[in-house]
């Protein structure tokens, strides 16, 4: 291994530590928050749906504004690092506060606890976005060449799996039953441990991770205003075709872990929360395996666009058995297969965004990673609204507006199956159609990369 490759590997490893913090925070939120406030705290599903909608409206402003200010930031520490430093400790504390309702749990206090729920998820999203958007924005800037991005992305996906183990397996080791109000304290213990993991990994990333490149340090001077930045993002044909695919992907990313605690208990008959966590853990162990043996070589052979389309089709097919299975053994097999298609999206999605940012630099002359990730997050939050609207509509329709475990009927079970299969399948079909139309592929992508090399040489000459 050459000295340059060795340096790239070291930078990639320490950069990837942020991924553990990011994934631990957000995926544990996705897995637990709906189930916690619906089954443990006792808030009716229509109120939770309202809270998520308000939260999504807040995010529509929060994400692009933070991206705009990040691109405009200029300090001796860089554009991104000051925001990350400011965010990671409050984010860690918020992970505990998510599970500390201000009033005693129960339906009689649901209005007061609803307002706390709304407040704390908004605060969580503020600090999570501040951390994640800036750390993620460093990827296309720090790792420029295809080789660097491949190395860094490989380590990111490995560390993503480690974060998912904390987010999905650790709760089952601490909380015996995700739907039992007797385990409120255990939820809080998990929040404390998750916060410690987030803080430690963020410190490692900040202390030893890569720094932003000198040739881009003056780009802040030419950064666009907020609305101009959003306009340029939306003007990108590549970005416009990418967005529906991303919304659809994140809809599936969101709905599956949100509904799995209820699906596992009331459809597959799994009473032990650890076994529920294990289902998701098996999915991501499978994902780790297939990222290496399938998606990495396939991306090199046919490119990002075609590989993503293939992964979406495999993912959709692998979900279909969830309509019919009803025991834990079948669940383990099916959830392992789900990891195949899921891993393709995980591996490819940020490579696509990096290409779009590169194309934008060719057009505008400046790098606007945070601007793109901010506008990207603006659209992405619509997936959260769609997730909660789907869940709220189905649970209300089947007569499960208030959590009553003794009132589970065949209709309720079918509703849970539909949320696991029918809604995700529709989303994945939309994603496949959208990415089929995505234009940044083949000769066009090669041309962008060649123009980018010239632009970066000019910028380095001015430093």
Q: Which helix (H) or strand (E) holds 242?
A: helix 237-266
Which tokens go with 335? Answer: 């959830």
What CA–CA distance (Å, rounded) separates 73 from 133? 14
Q: Quick check: is 268 in a domain?
A: yes
CATH number of the domain where residue 170 is located = 1.20.1250.20
* Residues 241/308, Cβ–Cβ less than 8 Å: no
- Residue 378 forms part of a structural domain: yes
Q: Hey, is 73 helix, strand or coil?
A: coil
CA–CA separation, 394 vs 372, rounded Å?
34
Asked whether residue 202 is domain-assigned, the answer is yes
What ranges in 321-368 are assigned the alpha helix state H?
Answer: 328-364
Question: C-alpha 376: how far from its chain's center?
Answer: 12
Domain membership of residue 436 (yes or no) is yes
**Along the 463 residues of the chain, how does pLDDT read in single tens digits?**
555 555 678 888 999 999 999 999 999 999 999 999 999 999 999 999 999 999 988 877 787 788 777 777 777 777 888 999 999 999 999 999 999 998 899 888 999 999 999 999 999 999 999 999 888 888 877 787 778 887 888 888 789 888 988 899 999 999 999 999 999 999 999 999 999 999 999 999 999 888 776 555 555 555 656 567 677 778 889 999 999 999 999 999 999 999 999 999 999 999 999 999 989 889 988 988 898 899 989 998 999 999 999 999 999 999 999 999 999 999 999 999 999 999 999 889 888 988 998 898 888 887 777 677 777 777 887 888 899 999 999 999 999 999 988 889 999 999 999 999 999 999 999 999 999 999 999 999 999 989 988 888 887 777 6
Other C-beta atoms lying within 10 Å of the C-beta of residue 280: 26
Q: What are phi and psi of 326, to 5 degrees?
A: -150, 20
- Whether 223 is covered by a domain: the verdict is no
Confidence at residue 214, expressed as pLDDT on a 0 to 100 scale:
59
Q: What does the pLDDT look like over 38-80, one tens digit per residue?
A: 999 999 999 999 999 999 888 777 877 887 777 777 777 778 8
The answer to whether residue 6 is domain-embedded is no
Instruction: Report the alpha-carbon distance of residue 111 to residue 119 in Å, rounded.
Output: 13
Q: Is residue 3 part of a domain?
A: no
Return the ∠ at Cα 395 (arms to 336 and 413), rounded to 5°: 50
What's the rounded Cα separation, in Å, for the pair 235 and 239?
Answer: 8
Nearest to 235 by CA among 65, 139, 364: 364
Angle (CA) 375-380-384 rounded to 5° is 145
Count helices and strands (H / E) in the chain: 17, 0
Q: How many structural domains comprise the chain?
A: 1
**Residue 65, burial from CB neighbour count under 10 angstroms (0-12, 13-18, 19+):** middle
pLDDT at position 354: 84
Report the candidate in 318, 400, 365, 461 with the shortest Cα–Cα distance to residue 35: 400
423, 390 Cβ separation under 8 angstroms = yes
Closest CA to 146 of 351, 310, 289, 290: 351
Name the residue range of residue 238's domain: 12-207+228-462
Q: Is residue 278 part of a domain?
A: yes
DSSP letters spanning 36-47: IIIIIS---HHH
Contacts 24+ apart (CB under 8 A), 72-81: 72/220, 72/223, 73/220, 74/217, 74/220, 74/221, 78/211, 78/212, 78/217, 79/134, 79/212, 79/220, 79/370, 80/134, 80/135, 80/137, 80/138, 80/212, 80/370, 81/134, 81/206, 81/211, 81/212
- Spell out the alpha helix ranges (H) of 36-145: 45-72, 81-97, 110-142
pLDDT of residue 34: 95
φ, ψ (nearest 5 deg) of residue 303? 95, 170
């Amino acid at each position: 291994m050459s000295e340059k490759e060795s340096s790239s590997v070291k930078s990639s490893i320490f950069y990837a530590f942020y991924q553990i913090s990011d994934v631990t925070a957000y995926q544990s939120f996705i897995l637990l928050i709906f189930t916690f406030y619906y089954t443990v705290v006792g808030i009716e599903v229509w109120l939770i749906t309202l809270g998520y909608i308000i939260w999504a409206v807040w995010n529509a402003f929060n994400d692009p504004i933070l991206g705009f200010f990040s691109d405009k930031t200029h300090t001796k520490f860089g554009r991104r690092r000051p925001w990350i430093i400011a965010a990671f400790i409050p984010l860690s504390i918020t992970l505990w506060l998510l599970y500390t309702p201000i009033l005693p749990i129960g339906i009689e206090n649901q209005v007061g606890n609803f307002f706390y729920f709304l407040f704390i998820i908004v605060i969580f999203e503020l600090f999570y976005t501040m951390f994640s958007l800036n750390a993620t924005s460093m990827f296309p800037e720090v790792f420029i060449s295809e080789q660097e991005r491949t190395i860094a992305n490989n380590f990111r996906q490995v560390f993503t799996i480690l974060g998912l183990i904390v987010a999905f397996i650790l709760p089952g080791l601490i909380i015996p039953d995700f739907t039992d109000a007797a385990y409120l304290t255990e939820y809080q213990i998990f929040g404390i441990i998750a916060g410690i993991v987030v803080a430690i990994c963020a410190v490692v990333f900040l202390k030893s991770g890569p720094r932003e490149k000198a040739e881009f340090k003056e780009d802040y001077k030419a950064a666009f205003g907020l609305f101009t930045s959003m306009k340029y993002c939306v003007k990108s044909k590549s970005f416009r075709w990418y967005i529906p695919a991303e919304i659809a992907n994140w809809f599936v990313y969101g709905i599956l872990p949100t509904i799995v605690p209820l699906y596992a208990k009331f459809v597959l008959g799994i009473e032990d929360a650890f076994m529920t966590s294990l289902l998701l853990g098996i999915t991501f162990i499978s994902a780790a395996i297939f990222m290496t043996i399938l998606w990495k070589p396939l991306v090199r052979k046919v490119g990002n666009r075609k590989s993503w389309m293939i992964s979406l089709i495999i993912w959709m097919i692998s979900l279909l058995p969830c309509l019919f299975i009803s025991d834990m053994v079948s669940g383990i097999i099916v959830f392992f297969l789900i990891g195949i298609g899921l891993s393709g999206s995980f591996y490819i999605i940020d490579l696509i965004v990096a290409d779009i940012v590169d194309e934008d630099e060719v057009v505008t002359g400046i790098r606007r990673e945070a601007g793109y990730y901010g506008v990207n997050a603006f659209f992405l939050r619509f997936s959260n609204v769609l997730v909660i609207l789907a869940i709220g509509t189905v649970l209300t329709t089947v007569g499960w507006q208030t959590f009553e475990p003794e009132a589970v009927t065949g209709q309720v079970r079918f509703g849970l199956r539909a949320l696991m299969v029918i809604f995700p399948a529709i989303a994945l079909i939309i994603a496949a159609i959208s990415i089929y139309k995505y234009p940044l592929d083949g000769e066009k992508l090669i041309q962008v990369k060649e123009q980018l090399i010239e632009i970066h040489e000019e910028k380095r000459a001015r430093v």
